[in-house]
Amino acid sequence: MRTAGYQKWQKKLARILFVAILLGTAEVPVMPATAQTKAITVDFEDGDGGFTGRGAAVAVVTDENAWSGNYLSVSGGTESWNGAQKDLSDLVSGNDVLKVSAYVRNNEAYEITSHMTLQEEKTDGTTAYSWIQGDVVIAPGEWKQLSGTITVASNTRIPVLYFETKEVGVSFSIDQVEITIETEEKVEEPEVDIGEPGGRTIDFEDGQIYFDKMGNPELQITRSEGYQGSAGLLVSNRSESYEGPLKDVSAFLEKGETLSGTSVSAAALVKNLSEKQRRAAITLRLTKEDGTQEYQTLAWVEAEAGSWVSLSCENGYTIGQGVASAAVYIEVEGTDPFIVDCVSLAAGKAANPVQPLDPVTPSDPVTPFENLLIDFEDGNPWFTDRGDAKGEVVPDAFRGEKALAVTGRTQNWHGVEKDLSQASLEGKGLRSSFWVKNTSSRIADIYLTLQETDAEGNVSYTRIAGGETLPGNWISLEGGVNIQPQTVCPMIYFESSDSSASFVIDDVNLQTTQWIEESEAPDGSNTDGGASAAAEQKRSSVAPFSVLTIDFEDGSPFFDNRGEGKAAISSQAHGGSKALSVSGRTLSWHGVERDFTDAGLQGKYLHVSFWTKHEKSEPQEIRFCIQEEDAAGEISYHWIAAGSDIKKGEWTQVTGEYLVREKTGKIVLYFEATDPELAFLIDDVELKSDMQPAAQPDKEKKESGPVWIKNLGQTYIETVKKIPWKQVSVCALTIGILSVGGIGIQKKRKKEIRKFEDKNI
């Protein structure tokens, strides 16, 4: 057995080798001559290294079962994001390339999925979360390495590294955390000194404000509100209409030039965040040698509520004699906040007039609507790019010929967006459905999100719809949300929990409704500004039938969500063009379900056949089950049909039958899987209700066709009737043992009492 001292010596050697390899191998990207590299190792030999518990989790240093020497033990979390974290503010700055490697151990008796995440608190008050490495499955007792690289956003104020798990309340360990930061040496540039002879255009993408203040407004960079690109300058907390960003004209003059005879030009895009139409203007303030001031309007335009407008001084303004100083500022009528982007300033003796910027065309704003379908068939992307993402119309559609591909993403919130400020949505409900195809090589959650900005400039985010998507699979997602009455700028955008995932969207449908009550909210959507909505409204019980075929071709999932399972329509069908996708599961019983209480199944045989498929590498077991509740409230669970060796990517038929108890009250039929996180597809479900059991297939049919799985529970119950009562307990034990084979199992669940008895006896 190695001693702790030997392990510590190994760590020191490993640290030296790590830095040597980092600096000496060809695998590391060649940085510019101005790049600097820092590397630190946290091995927990001298304490916690700055790591603390996150949320309710507790993080302590110990040496039991370490990867080497001491390690950090994490436990007690009550949410999936609870874990261990380290503030990197003293190490990392905006635009740095952050590389992290660490070993994580699973202390549970089941598999867990670990994520290594970067939380970035921005200068604009928003917070972003990006996986450095995500979805790493770790077996019980296994140490596994997590590693990844991420570029820190330019406007990040507080970067925090943390470790989390997909499961809630698990215990895990962390050891040998290696952190490297590649920093490009910056050329210092005064925040407000943007002067260059002739002029300059500022798009705020570098996170710098550059402007002084006219009056005393608050100026801050917003990463997602800018018209061109992802950033813009938010101007808020104004007490006078003239307050806004200001720039001294003399910064643009050649050395030795005077203001007299100088031509000044300016242009900008401005977004009015007021609920009313406001006049926006670019104004030149002239301070005379005697101290008096004059104001010259260079450009102005009326801006509709929530709309972008283009301001431009086409011919420039020439400054006369006796002017001591001059400054250009942007103002908007009233005191509501506004956003500025793409500011172009030019000044000089031979300065060319600044060309007008492209305004938002009249067709761009979304006017009030009841039902709006965006199918991209006209070649118009409709959405604009968000962050680094690029939206492009492509001939890869779910329906028709065209759809919108979203690529180039580097952060979770990057995607495509649409401003709905002029759609008069305040105080209304917004429902949406859409088709999306994950074009990445791995599973990714894809969402449609609502971003709301109020008159004070406060920004909030609420998920409308979304879910887990399989690579190459079209899936239909839907949801609903309420637009708060105080919102002046609602915006919708597509994003993904995987910061680099690419995807294609099609047939985006938007519907406005009255305010959505919590009981009406579709599952997965929110109606309360960010908190979880009430439980989904379940579908009514199925009516009596002899034969019921469910092929999902009408676009309805038919089933409701069960537990954390999410039902959605997929285009990856067994027969026809649609199937049911089941995802989001975190426990084996999670899946999809439907109430069959009113279907008249009591005392009858229920025959079932369905086709199923999954994309996990190992063979899986997927089951169709029944939940029965009697008049006393006692609940029992049985498998009706189970496919125990379903291979990856193969549509497999599963069949079975079950005699429903005559005195059963509530009946729920549902799909589940042994693997608690398995996502799977269901199609061509056929249910038959009959007073007689199905005829058994002959031997040849059993060998050449699908596996026939028969529930034997009732057969053994009939046998019980012929046995003296003193032997019933032995018979019950026999049935229980046979049930372990996968036939007629009664599963025990917490807080529910199971009695092996038949009320018909």
pLDDT in tens, 331-359: 999 999 999 988 888 877 655 555 555 44
Question: What pLDDT is attached to residue 716?
Answer: 35
The burial of 325, by beta-carbon neighbours within 10 Å (0-12 exposed, 13-18 middle, 19 or more buried), is given as middle
pLDDT digits (tens, 9 = 90+) for 265-290: 888 899 999 888 899 999 999 988 88
φ, ψ of residue 486 in degrees (nearest 5):
-85, 0
Question: What pLDDT is attached to residue 266?
Answer: 87
In angstroms, the CA 505 to CA 407 distance is 11
In angstroms, the CA 755 to CA 761 distance is 13
Q: What is the dihedral of CA 731, 737, 743, 746, to 10 degrees?
A: 80
Structure-block tokens of residue 3: 């001693």
Residue with more model confidence, 222 or 76: 76
Structure-block tokens of residue 515: 């305010």
Q: What is the dihedral of CA 727, 729, 732, 737, to 10 degrees?
A: -100
Task: State the DSSP code for 708.
Answer: B
Residue 27, pLDDT above cutoff 60:
no
Residue with more model confidence, 617 or 719: 617
Question: What pLDDT is attached to residue 329?
Answer: 95
Residue that has been written with the tokens 């996708």 in this structure: 581
**Is 19 in contact with 46 (CB distance < 8 Å)?**
no
Residue 434, pLDDT above cutoff 70:
yes
When pLDDT is averaged across residues 632-646 and rounded to a whole number, the result is: 90
Residue with more model confidence, 291 or 243: 243
**How sure is the predictor about 652, in pLDDT bands with cuts at 50, 70 and 90?**
very high
**How sure is the predictor about 556, in pLDDT bands with cuts at 50, 70 and 90?**
confident
Residue 557, pLDDT above cutoff 70:
yes
Percent of the chain with pLDDT over 90: 38
Q: How large is the angle between the packed helices 713-721 and 728-739, nearest 10 degrees?
A: 170
Largest CA distance in the chain: 118
Question: What pLDDT is attached to residue 697?
Answer: 54
Residue with more model confidence, 431 or 316: 431
What domains does the chain contain, in order, with CATH numbers? Answer: 35-184 (2.60.120.260), 201-349 (2.60.120.260), 371-513 (2.60.120.260), 547-690 (2.60.120.260)
When pLDDT is averaged across residues 43-66 and rounded to a whole number, the result is: 87
Of the ranges 95-104, 180-189, 300-309, the best mean pLDDT one? 95-104
Kindly write down the DSSP assignment for every residue of 79-98, as one continuous string: STT-EEEEE-TTT--TT-EE
Question: What pLDDT is attached to residue 713?
Answer: 40
Question: What pLDDT is attached to residue 11?
Answer: 41
Question: What pLDDT is attached to residue 300?
Answer: 87
Structure-block tokens of residue 709: 């799985």
Residue with more model confidence, 230 or 67: 230
**How sure is the predictor about 206, in pLDDT bands with cuts at 50, 70 and 90?**
confident
**How sure is the predictor about 67, in pLDDT bands with cuts at 50, 70 and 90?**
low
Structure-block tokens of residue 484: 């708060």
In angstroms, the CA 661 to CA 628 distance is 8
In angstroms, the CA 200 to CA 344 distance is 6
Residue with more model confidence, 359 or 577: 577
Question: What pLDDT is attached to residue 404?
Answer: 95
pLDDT digits (tens, 9 = 90+) for 222-263: 876 777 556 889 999 999 989 999 998 877 776 667 788 888
When pLDDT is averaged across residues 616-635 and rounded to a whole number, the result is: 92
Which amino acid does the sequence have at 212?
A: D
Percent of the chain with pLDDT over 70: 77
Question: What pLDDT is attached to residue 399?
Answer: 83
Question: What pLDDT is attached to residue 321?
Answer: 86
Sorted by sequence, the CB contacts under 8 Å of residue 9 that are 6+ apart come out as: none
* Nearest partner of 274 among 453, 482, 450, judged by Cα: 453
When pLDDT is averaged across residues 178-187 and rounded to a whole number, the result is: 74
Least confident of 121-130, 361-370, 626-635: 361-370
pLDDT digits (tens, 9 = 90+) for 98-156: 999 999 999 999 999 998 999 988 776 678 888 898 788 999 999 999 988 888 887 78
When pLDDT is averaged across residues 61-69 and rounded to a whole number, the result is: 70
Question: What pLDDT is attached to residue 398?
Answer: 87
Question: What pLDDT is attached to residue 117?
Answer: 92
Question: What pLDDT is attached to residue 347?
Answer: 79
Which amino acid does the sequence have at 686?
A: E
**How sure is the predictor about 21, in pLDDT bands with cuts at 50, 70 and 90?**
very low
Residue 26, pLDDT above cutoff 70:
no
When pLDDT is averaged across residues 323-335 and rounded to a whole number, the result is: 91
Residue 32, pLDDT above cutoff 90:
no
* Nearest partner of 676 among 591, 614, 587, judged by Cα: 587
Residue with more model confidence, 677 or 702: 677
Average pLDDT, the chain: 79
When pLDDT is averaged across residues 500-518 and rounded to a whole number, the result is: 88
Question: What pLDDT is attached to residue 569?
Answer: 85
Q: Report CA-CA distances (Å) from 189 to 26, 206, 367.
A: 33, 12, 43
Tell me the Ramachandran region of residue 157: left when phi exceeds 0, alpha when psi lies from -120 to 50, beta otherwise. Answer: alpha
